[in-house]
Amino acid sequence: SVNSATAADGEKNVEPPVFSAVDECLLTALKQAAPEQTVAELRNSCQQETPTLVKHRVNLEKQASKNPFAIVPHKPNFVLPASVTNINQEPYVGTPIDSELDDVEIKFQVSLKYLAAQDLVFNDLDLEIAFTATSWWQAYNSAISAPFRETNYEPELIFNYHHSWSLLGLPIEQTSLSFNHQSNGQTGKLSRSWNRIILGLTFAPADNVLWGLRTWYRLPEDEKIDPLDPAGDDNPDIEKYLGFGELGGLWSISDKHSLEFMFRNNLRTDDNRGAIQLGWSFPVNDRIQGYVEYFNGYGESLIYYNQHSQRLGIGFKLTNWL
């Protein structure tokens, strides 16, 4: 009938509902709320102000952390099954794997954090404990039993301040101060590690654009008497290659579709060295994003802190920055 046809046409033309950031925050909060929380409390939490990208993530993290079993993502969690580079064999000479490494391997990262305390000392200051492990796995190299070539371990203790403020007219959405240890868990000539105090600032010049600046001070270590001595500094010249900070950027083009970059430089006129990393995230389904990553420079991993490398990888992101 005409009415049936009209109804059918109407059904075809119905557009899916569009949710605002506040709506999304509230939906997530309802799923993760404690039994004693009211809807009004959840809505007030999500409506404290029109949430920026940073505050939207902070709200979701705080709601999720009310679940005693919750550990939330820190940095992106991803796996790149096809990761191609020109492996520098030099650091591995004299080791069991020697010069048998393949140029194609799997790179993946697991990064989690726990909100240990909220509103510490004053409002919007949180204490977080984070851990990140980034691995380079020779999964396709059956000739040497597919070893993990390197894993970088990075535990952090972070003080995160989420109150907005202005620096020279720039809107700062988040300020962090962290104690950061990074090492590759190796011994002897393959051992690499350093400890840093890192100050981080996150700027939001536009609704869908973020800039992040991190600068660090390396905590000094004693000089190593012998290269095989477990005590002492494994990499005393690491700042000559990784410098004293890095600049990052994120452009959130649409939901689960973003571009990102990282730039690092030692700011030396002589022996100038640095690195750049580019990333593109795109939707695959409701839970997983495709991810393409390109790196060029020094310090992609600790074993190559003083070796130039270039890598292109494609795979999947399980969680993104935002």
Residue with the larger pLDDT of the pair 12 and 206: 206
pTM of the model: 0.83
Q: Is 278 buried (19+), middle (13-18) or exposed (0-12) by CB count in 10 A?
A: middle
The pLDDT tens digits for 135-171 are 999 999 999 999 999 999 999 999 999 999 999 888 9
Retrieve residue 200's tokens: 């981080």
Q: Are 199 and 177 in contact (CB under 8 A)?
A: yes
pLDDT confidence of residue 22: 67
b/e sequence 117-155, b meaning 16+ C-beta within 10 Å: ebeeeeeebbbbbbebebbbbbbebeeeeeeebbbbbbe
What whole-number percentage of the chain has pLDDT above 90? 65
Range name among 29-38, 95-104, 191-200, 275-284 with the lowest pLDDT average:
29-38
- Per the listing, tokens 């990208």 go with 53
CB atoms within 10 A of CB 55: 21
Retrieve residue 273's tokens: 């060295």
Section 94-98 average pLDDT: 81
Q: Are 262 and 247 in contact (CB under 8 A)?
A: yes
Paired with 213 in beta bridges are 201, 247
In this structure, the strands spanning 193-206 and 209-218 are antiparallel
The pLDDT tens digits for 202-244 are 999 888 999 999 999 999 999 988 777 778 899 999 999 999 9
